[in-house]
Structure 1
């Protein structure tokens, strides 16, 4: 069974070695430097490009695109987390992501409005390392994803959950309507990972990553990040796709003015003149 069919059937898929080893290592180093304690997290947009590069990774975006889901994946939130067993409690009840990113409930289980990427910067290959547990959708078909965002214990779903034993560089993709949970780490055990939540938007532009949606410090980091992104990465951030009719000579010039150093496409079907790839130098 291919990844697309597995995701459609189960609501999740584990992609082995999706992250480039050098990118993964840089992310691990950056996270260790950002979290001075034995347990902690930092949020997107990150202060270091090594973590931003993973949240907007071309290989992860391509993997999501290959699932054939409707809409454009757009970063809603991302955290990079260092967990150490005994420093905090990590065991969770089974829950859904849809309640975190919408004021309303999904129509049904097929109304997936987003995908989560759990990115392993270090191994989570044994139960001592706190692997994420997921439940295949066939085992939760009787659940109303609108009224049951959390499954309290005891419940039969805990008997059929699958613990994902992953290696560093693996990526677990699961839908907003897939029940999952974090599990406890053994005392002293350590795990570094990132979670990136991508909404599936159906409009060309997004109002998620905007000045009004984040602190001034976060917005400053984001505006510094924008000029170095590719066209696909800008789309994932919330920009209209490069071929969208929104882009005209006037809007290209105005958006470039808003983000100093940004060079947008100047040669697609809606502009004139020679083209250059989004995010590239002139």
Structure 2
């Protein structure tokens, strides 16, 4: 949970950096990331061996599930969910998206314009209220310096003249806003929490042989007008079946599963879902039937 001071920072500026959030597991996380990305020394020995990480700025994104249990579990961390519940003031949340990225200097044009992320997930606009309808997270597994493509952000205190529909700001049209952007620098293991109404952008890596490892994901309040990551169209992938079987019932709800006690669950559906996802433990769902 965020402290009162942290909540004030988040509400006032639109973002908050929490140092050392993932630091206790950082060494293992980085080691596991080597299962899906090359080590920097391998990449820089011959970048031409890794064309899949070059070209478009999102070509180096690997969406969850990756098939690596520790990595696939990080977006479901109960501490993250507690923060999402706190800032949205809702217990009915969905995991909207999630993916790891390994950026290397000059592998792509990582320079973006200032933008709002909410347009990726709804056809309407976010309401103007204190609580967050959508909240994003960046977990940083390498130090974020001015040379490693820091996330740039603009505090809400400088955005009073903007409207919620000012979603993508060209630099030449909004120079007064760009004057207020700042790099969000932090140490490896830090977590960035940001409201989806916060202007931010990715920036280029300038350091020679620089590498930046991140996990980006988001939570949103469950609503018919919110669009979430489409899990069903990947449900037959082994990594997805493995993930669903490994999650707790509360974690599965974040993917759109009916909660324990929902009328959907009957002896027949529990048995069938268990056959669809080998390793799925139907005990909590069966116990709820017996208690009703």
- TM-score of the superposed pair, with normalisation by structure 1: 0.81
Aligned counterpart for 1:128 among listed residues 147, 153, 157: 147
CA distance in 2, matches of 1:83, 1:55: 20
**Number of residue pairs matched by the alignment:** 265
**5+ long unaligned stretches in structure 2:** 48-52, 54-59
Residue number in structure 2 paired with 1:242? 260
CA distance in 2, matches of 1:253, 1:202: 29
Aligned counterpart for 2:80 among listed residues 40, 57, 60: 60
Offset of residue 156 of structure 1: 1.6
Does the alignment pair 1:260 with 2:281? Answer: no
Does the alignment pair 1:13 with 2:13? Answer: no
Residue number in structure 2 paired with 1:190? 211
CA distance in 2, matches of 1:51, 1:119: 11
Does the alignment pair 1:30 with 2:32? Answer: yes
**5+ long unaligned stretches in structure 1:** 274-282
SS at match of 1:46: coil
Offset of residue 70 of structure 1: 3.1
Task: Confirm or deny: 8 A CA contact 1:35 1:42 kept in the other structure.
Answer: no
CA distance in 2, matches of 1:32, 1:17: 21
Task: Confirm or deny: 8 A CA contact 2:23 2:188 kept in the other structure.
Answer: no
Task: Confirm or deny: 8 A CA contact 1:96 1:178 kept in the other structure.
Answer: yes
Task: Confirm or deny: 8 A CA contact 1:32 1:82 kept in the other structure.
Answer: no
Offset of residue 243 of structure 1: 5.2
Task: Give matches, 1:223-238, under 5 Å.
Answer: 223-238=241-256
CA distance in 1, matches of 2:88, 2:133: 13
Aligned counterpart for 1:4 among listed residues 4, 7, 18: 7
CA distance in 2, matches of 1:247, 1:9: 43
- Residues 138-164 of structure 1: per-residue CA shift (max 9 Å, x gap): 32232122x321111042221222321
Call closer, same or farther: CA 1:233–1:208 in 2, change over 3 Å. Answer: same
SS at match of 1:153: coil
SS at match of 1:272: helix
- Residues 6-54 of structure 1: per-residue CA shift (max 9 Å, x gap): 22222211112122522x3333223233124564221122132222011
SS at match of 1:66: helix
Call closer, same or farther: CA 1:179–1:243 in 2, change over 3 Å. Answer: farther
- Residues 179-213 of structure 1: per-residue CA shift (max 9 Å, x gap): 1111222232211111012222148xx9754433x
| Structure with greater helix percent | 2
Call closer, same or farther: CA 1:240–1:4 in 2, change over 3 Å. Answer: farther
- Residues 200-228 of structure 1: per-residue CA shift (max 9 Å, x gap): 2148xx9754433x485xx3311111111
Residue number in structure 2 paired with 1:280? none
Aligned counterpart for 1:199 among listed residues 216, 220, 227: 220
- TM-score of the superposed pair, with normalisation by structure 2: 0.79
Call closer, same or farther: CA 1:231–1:25 in 2, change over 3 Å. Answer: farther
